[in-house]
Structure 1
Amino acid sequence: MSAVSPIEEFDDPSFDPFLEDALVFGEHLDPYPKLAGLRREASVLQGEYRVLMGLAPDVTSPAGAMHFCVLGYDEVAQVLGDPQTFTNHAYTYNLGISFGRSISTMDAPEHPRFRRIFQKAFLPQTVAAWGDELVDPVVHELMEAFVDRGEADLVQAFTLHYPFRIIYRQLALPPQDVATFHKMAIAQTVVAVDVAHGTEASRKLGIYFKNLVADRRRNPGSDLVSALAHAEVDGEHLPEDVLISFLRQLVNAAGDTTYRATSVLLSALLRHPQQLEAIRQDRSLIPQAIEEAVRWDGPVLMQSRFASKTVTLGGVEIPQGAFIDVIAGSANRDERKFPDPDRFDIFRKPQHRHFAFAFGPHVCIGQHLARVEMTRALNALLDKLPNLRLDPDKPAPQIRGAMMRVPHSIHVKFG
């Protein structure tokens, strides 16, 4: 393949988007008691979720916009399942600034038209093949650096880098671009509180991807960029702005959220060693462990929607034009649907779906890949790190955040 100009660094190279995580997503150790209290007060409440949780308001939200929080399970299901009334227009004000004309900002008829094209790249059979070709090599590459040490911080040594390196291989990115690329990808998510850096990252990623798409159209390979650069809608190539927006968002949707979900899964299992041992003895338990982990403390607590018309939800009238903060993290712990919802239990027999990957026409395209990555990571860690356990001499992992959740370290011993 031809050389593509390296991705441009921030104008201020000292800017570190990783340090803004707490500002953007909060440092809440346990937001669930407050969510439970709000949910018992009412399934639908007026107010912006960020503000209700003590965070700075979203600066991208239009002045004077009304916000409502949807907290109850049934009401969340109703919102996510009715895309005509509760549209994704809300995302044009935040994700749209960073990602551009993303399918997350689209509604029907445009959304299903483009989603079908992108979805083909993430079909279960395609993702299963990636498991051998892309996922396993990354797992083993990362583990080689610490497998002989007897101890590690699984976040800094493994989960923080794991899904991103898989994406780099999917996109066939030049190795020299990886570090800057990771910073730019993460910086896009700070736009709700830091528009300047969020838009700078978006602009520079846009330039980079435009050049990369042009290169792969001239010199196609077996990578995802080449496949999408030659994909067609009604006999025409995908519009360039839609393709570039998808690539911008892919890095976060498939990288950042999977890093968080994998970290939460490992934290939960290590803090429940009997359940971890059960999985060690019976790997068929891994799928239900993953589903319980993302229900119990999914990496994304809130999704956004926009009221296309005046509607009554949970007994509350929501005016046309209002922003709807859909609190999936609250619905996933609604005691009316999940008995003892705050307990992490991989043997739980849930009678209701969780909303960690959303629901309805905007359900997460990459959910199959996320499950494959989490499954292969857990299998490899159990295979290669005998007697894996929390390090008793170091702080236990603390999952933090009110918007996006993750532990910043998981200190373990093994061997």
Structure 2
Amino acid sequence: MALSNRIADFDDAAFDPFATFESATQSHSGEDPYRRLAEMRRQGSVFELDYRELLGSPPDLTMAGLPKYMVLGAADIQHVLETPQLFSNTIFERNVGLCFGRSLTVMDAPEHTRYRRLFQKAFMPNVVAKWGDTLVDPVVHGLIENFRAKGRADLVREFTQHYPFQIIYRQLDLPQDDIAVFHKLAVGLTCIVVDVAHGVEASQKLGAYYALLLEERRNGGGSDLVSTLAQAEIDGERLPDEVLVSFLRQLINAAGDTTYRATSSLLVGLLSNPEQLDAVRRDRALIPAAIEEALRWEPPVTVCPRLTMQPVVLDGVEIPAGAEIDAMTGAYNRDPGRYDEPDRFDIGRRPQRHMGFAYGQHVCIGQHLARVEMTRALNALLDHLPNLRLDPDHPPPQVLGVNMRVPPAVHVRFDT
């Protein structure tokens, strides 16, 4: 049986996970979360509050019943993320665990350390650098060719929303006929916080699909990522299929979705500051600084939840064991104690650590690939779209959302 016949769509094929997920991640109050967080931080570092409720978004159904706290101060955020024995990633068993399974995200040390060491080898800088020419550039240039003759485009709908996912499809060497349903199921996984039934259904169907992929490629000698991981070993033993399938389930979201959001926000920052865009256009050595500033200014994920393993006191606030504690990494990146004029996008800012890819043991394993993809994407846009600028016929782009933020559109013009 051909593999392309093995992937199954949602039972309700009309279900739209894209609309469901975007609705769940938007602030229904329309409020800029950073303004509210800055006001709160002036009063203290820790609050007994639900961040989603604060901004008028649908509640996370998977976290129902837990006491909820927000941590806004930079020192306290760092303490939470670097002290896993007190603040555990096992909180993700309630949502990520339901849809992704036994992925790295739900694990604490020593289990997390053991598996991460192996997976990390596949995403080291020397490895992902080689993917630039073979995987990234063909996708980026192919997408640009679809609209470069028009002289205008929406860079979100026509470019950033697609290119990191298409790169992952190539990494996995997916059959072309599977891609549309595969992407739909992958996005369906992330709907788990507001639509548990469809999230679980997507998990089951992707799990069955990946199990067949692993079986088919385990002894095939291929060089794609599925084949590589299927043959990987720890201490002479192959990785359990449960862990492999869970990692692959999460990959499309962890690598594709965050890069799409980060690249979109990078474009907003540069296009909204034409003098900085011109500086980057003239001197491409400024691209790394522009990427780091975008990750600080608008990180793709602004909250890192943890579960308190015992009663703790932070900033004088007593927090019980078994509470959800949201380390507001977005607030860390906008802390005026660390950054001058933190709400301003400035590629000339003095280099300083940010939490655009989180922090601690669970820092993003795909961060090196994301930077390669963002670098190649920006270079290609500047090379092939002369005089790239915002389209005056459309409102200026705005980054929206509660936790996973992104501009809905980035309308541009350019010379042909």
Normalised to the residue count of structure 2, the TM-score between the two structures is 0.97
- Given that residues 4 and 212 in structure 1 are in contact (C-alpha distance below 8 angstroms), is that contact kept between their aligned partners in structure 2? no
Alignment of 1:12-51 (within 5 A): 12-27=12-27, 28=30, 30-51=32-53
Give structure 1 stretches of 5+ with no counterpart. Answer: none
CA offsets, 1:342-363, max 9 Å, x none? 111010114x411110111111
- Given that residues 21 and 187 in structure 2 are in contact (C-alpha distance below 8 angstroms), is that contact kept between their aligned partners in structure 1? no
Aligned amino acid, residue 130 of structure 1: W
What does residue 203 of structure 1 align with?
204
What does residue 232 of structure 2 align with?
231
CA offsets, 1:223-282, max 9 Å, x none? 000000000112111110110000000000000111010000011111111100000001
Aligned equivalents of 1:82, 1:140: Cα separation in 2:
43
SS of the residue 1:406 aligns to = coil
Cα deviation for residue 408 of structure 1 reads 1.5
Cα deviation for residue 62 of structure 1 reads 4.6
Q: Cα RMSD between the aligned structures?
A: 1.3
Structure 1 residue 400 and structure 2 residue 400: aligned? yes
Aligned equivalents of 1:212, 1:342: Cα separation in 2:
45
What does residue 78 of structure 1 align with?
79
Cα deviation for residue 4 of structure 1 reads 5.3
What does residue 56 of structure 1 align with?
58
CA offsets, 1:141-196, max 9 Å, x none? 11111111111111111100000000000000001111111111111111111101
Structure 1 residue 167 and structure 2 residue 168: aligned? yes
Aligned amino acid, residue 144 of structure 2: M
What does residue 301 of structure 1 align with?
302
Cα deviation for residue 29 of structure 1 reads 5.5
Aligned amino acid, residue 213 of structure 1: L
Alignment of 1:229-378 (within 5 A): 229-350=230-351, 352-378=352-378
Alignment of 1:73-152 (within 5 A): 73-152=74-153
SS of the residue 2:326 aligns to = strand
User: Which deviates the most, 35-44 or 161-170?
Assistant: 35-44
Normalised to the residue count of structure 1, the TM-score between the two structures is 0.97
Aligned equivalents of 1:338, 1:20: Cα separation in 2:
35
Aligned amino acid, residue 61 of structure 2: V
Aligned amino acid, residue 148 of structure 1: A
Cα deviation for residue 378 of structure 1 reads 0.3
SS of the residue 1:8 aligns to = coil
Aligned equivalents of 1:233, 1:195: Cα separation in 2:
34
The number of aligned residues is: 413
What does residue 5 of structure 1 align with?
5
- Given that residues 254 and 370 in structure 1 are in contact (C-alpha distance below 8 angstroms), is that contact kept between their aligned partners in structure 2? yes
- Given that residues 31 and 55 in structure 2 are in contact (C-alpha distance below 8 angstroms), is that contact kept between their aligned partners in structure 1? no
SS of the residue 2:153 aligns to = strand
- Given that residues 29 and 399 in structure 1 are in contact (C-alpha distance below 8 angstroms), is that contact kept between their aligned partners in structure 2? no
What does residue 215 of structure 1 align with?
216
SS of the residue 1:364 aligns to = coil
User: Which deviates the most, 48-57 or 189-198?
Assistant: 48-57
User: Which deviates the most, 166-175 or 229-238?
Assistant: 229-238
SS of the residue 2:62 aligns to = coil
| Change in CA separation of 1:369 and 1:29 when aligned onto 2, cut-off 3 Å | farther
SS of the residue 1:57 aligns to = coil
Aligned amino acid, residue 16 of structure 1: D
- Given that residues 310 and 317 in structure 1 are in contact (C-alpha distance below 8 angstroms), is that contact kept between their aligned partners in structure 2? yes
Cα deviation for residue 318 of structure 1 reads 1.5
Aligned equivalents of 1:178, 1:4: Cα separation in 2:
9
- Given that residues 156 and 409 in structure 2 are in contact (C-alpha distance below 8 angstroms), is that contact kept between their aligned partners in structure 1? yes
SS of the residue 1:163 aligns to = helix
- Given that residues 103 and 111 in structure 1 are in contact (C-alpha distance below 8 angstroms), is that contact kept between their aligned partners in structure 2? yes
- Given that residues 80 and 360 in structure 1 are in contact (C-alpha distance below 8 angstroms), is that contact kept between their aligned partners in structure 2? yes
SS of the residue 2:348 aligns to = coil
Aligned amino acid, residue 313 of structure 2: T
- Given that residues 172 and 226 in structure 2 are in contact (C-alpha distance below 8 angstroms), is that contact kept between their aligned partners in structure 1? yes
Aligned equivalents of 2:170, 2:217: Cα separation in 1:
14
User: Which deviates the most, 367-376 or 308-317?
Assistant: 308-317
Cα deviation for residue 23 of structure 1 reads 2.8
User: Which deviates the most, 332-341 or 159-168?
Assistant: 332-341
Aligned equivalents of 2:77, 2:241: Cα separation in 1:
34
Cα deviation for residue 218 of structure 1 reads 3.4
CA offsets, 1:2-37, max 9 Å, x none? 745331111111111111234311244621111111
- Given that residues 21 and 190 in structure 2 are in contact (C-alpha distance below 8 angstroms), is that contact kept between their aligned partners in structure 1? no
Aligned equivalents of 2:18, 2:380: Cα separation in 1:
27
Aligned amino acid, residue 172 of structure 1: D
Aligned equivalents of 1:14, 1:343: Cα separation in 2:
42
After TM superposition, which residue ranges in structure 1, 4 or more long, deviate above 4 angstroms?
none
- Given that residues 185 and 251 in structure 1 are in contact (C-alpha distance below 8 angstroms), is that contact kept between their aligned partners in structure 2? yes
Aligned amino acid, residue 318 of structure 2: E
Give structure 2 stretches of 5+ with no counterpart. Answer: none
- Given that residues 155 and 410 in structure 2 are in contact (C-alpha distance below 8 angstroms), is that contact kept between their aligned partners in structure 1? yes
| Change in CA separation of 1:325 and 1:239 when aligned onto 2, cut-off 3 Å | same
Aligned equivalents of 1:125, 1:186: Cα separation in 2:
29
